[in-house]
Amino acid sequence: MWIIAIIAAAVLVGIDQLTKYLALVNLKPIGSTTVVDGFLDLTFVENRGVAFGMFSGKKWFILLLTLCIVAFLVYYFVKMPRTKEYQWVRCAMVLVLARYFHTSSLQTIESTKGIIPPLLMALFPAALIILQPDLGTALMLLFTTGAIFFAVGVQVWKFAVVFIGGLVSMPIAWAFLHDYQRNRVLTFLDPERDPLGAGYHIIQSKIALGSGGVFGKGFLKGTQSHLNFLPEKHTDFIFTMLSEEFGMMGAVLIVVLNFLILAYSYSFALKSTSYFGKLVAIGLATNYFMYVFINISMVLGLIPVVGIPLPLISYGGTVMLSIMASFGIILSVHINRNVQIGKD
């Protein structure tokens, strides 16, 4: 992990120095240029110090200070406690991307150069989340970003290029996965390879799902869950516990209720006359959909086990707050559906 963090820091420093060199060579002679019309203009300004020109001329002091800051950031993102505060990143990313595409012209969106800035906006926080490591949350962020890209009309062939590139890079990505992440993928392919270890969670989950039958065993009468055969029954595997107690009918009810939430959220997006409101509602609704889809698919054994809770039902405060904040924003979009927002 430290090697990856050091390489990432070195790449960032290299990019910083490269952009400064390119600015000196190409931008200094002309002074200013437009990159993305109405969104991004580059103007050459030279500052030989730090903020507001402080420590001007003290090159080695500034270099030492920069290295200390980079080292602290690397240490922070590698060693910080594995909490879920960055669940808010997805909500913030939706707002940022909606703002960008709201002010962009159709020509900008259809051009390859026009989608590079929002793509970088999404990739940078995703890379930091992967360093946590939390691959599941990072993938949810990228899928939500992809939904917004699709909603604004980015050509399908660009999605195909990204998809093919992802498939080609999978052997390389496999080498950078942690041992427990590789183990999750292997367990997904064959849970019986380690029934008392890595495969225990999903095996017990399938037993609980099947033992519930059509109408379930009754409230608080589940054997797999209440005899502690089923781990994490209050968080990630709460759908399994409810399915055992209330059967297939209870599971279907949960799916239907979530479907209604999503249907209303997407309908609010379609009714909004503001392009910004449409994108915000679509992005936040897709984020909620990813929670539900990944959690239920995980406990059914359709995808590898990841630490994604079932929203509004699983125990946990951070996810609940972020989801309720998302609902508040979606309702605000609906209430202000006839309000036009300028592009300035």
pLDDT tens readout for residues 262-302: 999 999 999 988 888 899 999 999 999 989 998 898 888 88
**Share of residues in the chain with pLDDT > 90 (%):** 10
Best mean pLDDT range from 51-60, 72-81, 330-339: 330-339
| Peptide bond just before 133 cis, omega within 30 deg | yes
C-alpha 59/C-alpha 288 separation (Å) is 48
Identify residue 290 by its one-letter amino acid code: M
The span from the CA of 286 to the CA of 150, in Å, is 12
* pLDDT (average), residues 308-335: 87
The domain segmentation of the chain, as residue ranges, is 191-335
Assess whether pLDDT exceeds 70 at residue 156: yes
How confident is the model over 42-49, as a mean pLDDT?
74
**What is the mean pLDDT of the segment spanning 105-122?**
81
CA atoms within 13 A on the CB side of 274: 21
* Residue 296 or residue 48, greater confidence: 296
Higher pLDDT, 136 or 269: 269
Q: Report pLDDT for 44.
A: 80
Backbone angles phi, psi at 35, to 5 degrees: -95, -55
Is 60 exceeded by the pLDDT of residue 83? no
What's the chain's average pLDDT? 80
User: With 70 as the cut, is the pLDDT of residue 42 above it?
Assistant: yes
Query: Partners of 42 in the beta sheet?
Result: 33
Strongest mean pLDDT among 76-90, 139-153, 182-196 = 139-153
The CB density around residue 342, as the number of other CB atoms within 10 Å, is 8
- pLDDT, residue 261, reads 94
Q: Other C-beta atoms within 10 Å of 255: how many? A: 13
Give pTM, 2 decimals. Answer: 0.71
